[in-house]
Structure 1
Amino acid sequence: MTVEPLPLTGERTAPGIEAENYWFRRHEAAYLALLRHCAGAVVLEAGCGEGYGAALIAERADRVVALDYDARTAAHAARAYPGLAVVRGNLADLPLRAASVDVVANLQVIEHLWDQEGFLAECARVLRPGGRLLLTTPNRITFSPGRDTPLNPFHTRELAPAELAGLLTGAGFEVEELTGLRHGPRLRALDERFGGSIIDAQVAVVVDGDPWPADLLAAVAGVSAEDFEITPEEMDASLDLVAVAVRP
């Protein structure tokens, strides 16, 4: 069965689209790095989007519940990944019992939420003692540099590394890992090739509404998850923040 892809609006990414491949692989790299925490676990993906991440998690987990607030998105995920248990629900009021899951995965979602503290309280409620919250989000310092408000109109509040750590500890979590995703050697070479930033080169094409230059599109389409690195070094310079937090 062929499933029609979700429209690209800038709110979420999706696989199988050449011009979107950089962002998809950047997200995928974080999922792959965090899968080790999902082995044999009952996992809630809070904000599953297109569904590809929940499908990856399902390869390792005992059971996955994929939740999204948007009805069209949840319906797409259920069609595209028929093995997933997809639920439509509000992240401000998770439709799960207290202490019912081992892991909550929340990748590239918290920056879209108006009540981030309330969401983290809900995560703590549904996690079993010792359970883990796996969370990624753009680094405010590099994603919206020098701005008080996010560049992306779908983002309500972006976080710097220290702000994310404070938000997690304030919600009662113990921060087990806080690392940053950045470009590896091949992407750094592409940065140099495209005027200092392959990200800015892509954004310029989209903003200007111009056709994609063939060399840029080919470079973007060739990006893989392995082209990114995740490290605790120089966190303020990272592109995305990758956190693992434990509910005591």
Structure 2
Amino acid sequence: MDFTGERYVPNKVFGEIEVEHKQRYHAILDLVKNKKVLDAACGEGYGTNLISQRAEFVWGIDISEDSIQWANEAYHSTNIEFKVSDIKSLPISDHSVDVVVSFETIEHVDEQAQKKFLSEIKRVLKHDGILIMSTPDKRLYSDVVGFTNKFHIKEFYDHEFQNFLESDFKYTHMFRQGFKTFSHLASCHTEKNQATYYRLDDLYDTLNTGKYLIAVCSDKQLINLEKINSIMPLAKRKLMSKLLIDTGEGFNSESALSAELYIEGREFSVTFEALDKLGTIKSLKWIPLEGEMININILKYPPNIQMISLNSFGHRESFTEFQVMDPEFLINITGDTLKKLSLKGHIEILNSESIFQKLNTRIEGLQSEIENLQSILQDHEQLKEHLEFTKKERDNALAVNQNIRIENSILRNSTSWRITKPLRMISTALKRKKNKM
């Protein structure tokens, strides 16, 4: 299933977006234990599947038929049922659900649909049931950074979100989720299969400025909510870089070499070995990361090569900036045989929000350029039409002038013209005499 920017898709989206989505589901596992749960707008089903490992039963609903079809094929369990459904009309019996989970859903519909959704949640929840709902804080998610998510219809400010939920629930407890920088000191001797999710045993009175709001609501007093407090580090992943080789017959992606691209902080390094064993190489094409949009600054490379970015957008400070997936560099070998290719430098892997923001900016710029060119073209067409009309007028005038010249020449050379010449001279003299009187 492809990532479009609207729904998180495991193994297609990494980094901050991956952690944000997975942490929400990990954080609520104690609250859904042995419960009947509804995961509203479940997407491709990864969260529903995680909940099913603790819950008695879980329904996953989504308006997308493709998503539900994918979920049914990907996740098989006796305590999961996936259904195609709109959130405005939940396919669940009255007061039959212990917990309703709805992450990053409410902002995707208009105000009328939001109220209908909340009403439906109250209908399907048991009287002591719990709603767990998340949404981005409009001030931090959109206003402060000047970002517009094209999939969002009605976002909430934090007080609006709380008032919205308190209109139907007696108790509402608000959380925030976001990334923080911290110093990590730990033993070098750790188990390989170390957990990737941690609870916070000690809470410190620090300002929580996370851009996502998570609310836990109920008509019954809420307890044990400290279990939701948690830390989830960025997941490590193996990033592969690709090198295409041209030995005289062009680049062949099927025979491309792959090597792991190591990233630590903003530093990257990658090495392709034994290139001299591949025959005479005309040129190389390097794809740093497939399916990623990046900014990259290559600081170290062999002295006998020349690197040319093929599809970059431009340069920002010292970085080559790309606004396309699968960035490419052409590598020309200018000296001796290249035995191996080692590259080092700085890299920024852009998350989906940055990508959409950059693409939106790029699209707006291109649209403006198109409109300017269309205006110039329209003016050009008008000038072209005026030029053609003027040419026709000139040609007509030239034709008339030529005809007059021909007729005049014929007349002057005619017999009648010569016979009447004395009379024309007398007439001209009389006119002049009359004018003098």
User: Which TM-score tier does this pair reach, normalised by the shorter chain?
Assistant: 0.7 to 0.9
Q: Does 1:7 align with 2:2?
A: yes
Q: Which amino acid aligns with 1:131?
A: G
What corresponds to 1:42 in structure 2? 36
**CA separation of 1:66/1:85 partners in 2, compared to 1, >3 Å: closer, same or farther?**
same
Picking from 56, 60, 83, the partner of 1:62 is 56
**8 Å CA contact retained: 2:39, 2:102:** yes
Secondary structure of the residue that 1:242 maps to in structure 2?
strand
Q: Does 1:157 align with 2:154?
A: yes
Secondary structure of the residue that 2:95 maps to in structure 1?
coil
- Between the aligned partners of 1:161 and 1:110, the Cα distance in structure 2 is 13
**8 Å CA contact retained: 2:2, 2:9:** no
**CA separation of 1:13/1:130 partners in 2, compared to 1, >3 Å: closer, same or farther?**
same
Q: Which amino acid aligns with 2:156?
A: L
Gaps of 5+ in 1: 1-5, 190-223
Q: Which amino acid aligns with 1:159?
A: F
- Pairwise CA distance, 1:240: 0.7
**CA separation of 1:22/1:147 partners in 2, compared to 1, >3 Å: closer, same or farther?**
closer
What corresponds to 1:107 in structure 2? 103
- Between the aligned partners of 1:231 and 1:130, the Cα distance in structure 2 is 31
What corresponds to 1:240 in structure 2? 212
- Between the aligned partners of 1:231 and 1:126, the Cα distance in structure 2 is 37
- Between the aligned partners of 1:39 and 1:103, the Cα distance in structure 2 is 10
**8 Å CA contact retained: 1:29, 1:226:** no
Picking from 116, 119, 125, the partner of 2:117 is 119
- Please give the residue correspondences for 1:166-185 in structure 2 after superposition, counting only pairs within 5 Å: 166-170=163-167, 172-185=168-181
- Please give the residue correspondences for 1:168-247 in structure 2 after superposition, counting only pairs within 5 Å: 168-170=165-167, 172-185=168-181, 234=207, 237-247=209-219
**8 Å CA contact retained: 1:134, 1:245:** yes
Secondary structure of the residue that 2:128 maps to in structure 1?
strand
**8 Å CA contact retained: 1:102, 1:128:** yes
What corresponds to 1:87 in structure 2? 83
Secondary structure of the residue that 2:25 maps to in structure 1?
helix
The count of residues paired between Structure 1 and Structure 2 equals 203
Q: Which amino acid aligns with 1:243?
A: A
**8 Å CA contact retained: 2:129, 2:219:** yes
- Pairwise CA distance, 1:185: 2.7
- Between the aligned partners of 1:175 and 1:21, the Cα distance in structure 2 is 34
- Pairwise CA distance, 1:146: 5.1
- Between the aligned partners of 1:227 and 1:183, the Cα distance in structure 2 is 15
Q: Does 1:77 align with 2:71?
A: yes
**8 Å CA contact retained: 2:60, 2:81:** yes
What corresponds to 1:219 in structure 2? none
- Pairwise CA distance, 1:226: 5.6
- Pairwise CA distance, 1:184: 3.1
User: Which portions of structure 1, spanning 4 or more consecutive aligned residues, are displaced by more than 3 angstroms?
Assistant: 224-228, 230-235
**CA separation of 1:98/1:227 partners in 2, compared to 1, >3 Å: closer, same or farther?**
closer
Cα deviation code 1:107-152 (max 9, x no counterpart): 111111221111001000000001000111111111101599x711
Q: Which amino acid aligns with 1:96?
A: I
**8 Å CA contact retained: 1:180, 1:232:** no
**8 Å CA contact retained: 1:181, 1:231:** no
- Between the aligned partners of 1:159 and 1:130, the Cα distance in structure 2 is 26
Cα deviation code 1:33-86 (max 9, x no counterpart): 112210110000011001111011111100000111110011111111122310
- Pairwise CA distance, 1:231: 9.1
Picking from 16, 24, 44, the partner of 1:22 is 16
**8 Å CA contact retained: 1:134, 1:243:** yes
- Between the aligned partners of 1:134 and 1:183, the Cα distance in structure 2 is 20
Cα deviation code 1:131-189 (max 9, x no counterpart): 000111111111101599x711111111122111100012x113332010021335x99
Secondary structure of the residue that 1:163 maps to in structure 2?
helix
- Pairwise CA distance, 1:105: 0.4
Of all paired residues, the percent bearing the same amino acid is 29
- Between the aligned partners of 2:96 and 2:52, the Cα distance in structure 1 is 17
- Between the aligned partners of 1:90 and 1:26, the Cα distance in structure 2 is 24
Q: Which amino acid aligns with 2:100?
A: V
**8 Å CA contact retained: 1:51, 1:77:** yes
Higher relative contact order (CA 8 A, sep 6+): 1
What corresponds to 2:129 in structure 1? 131
Q: Which amino acid aligns with 2:130?
A: R
Secondary structure of the residue that 2:6 maps to in structure 1?
coil
**CA separation of 1:124/1:116 partners in 2, compared to 1, >3 Å: closer, same or farther?**
same
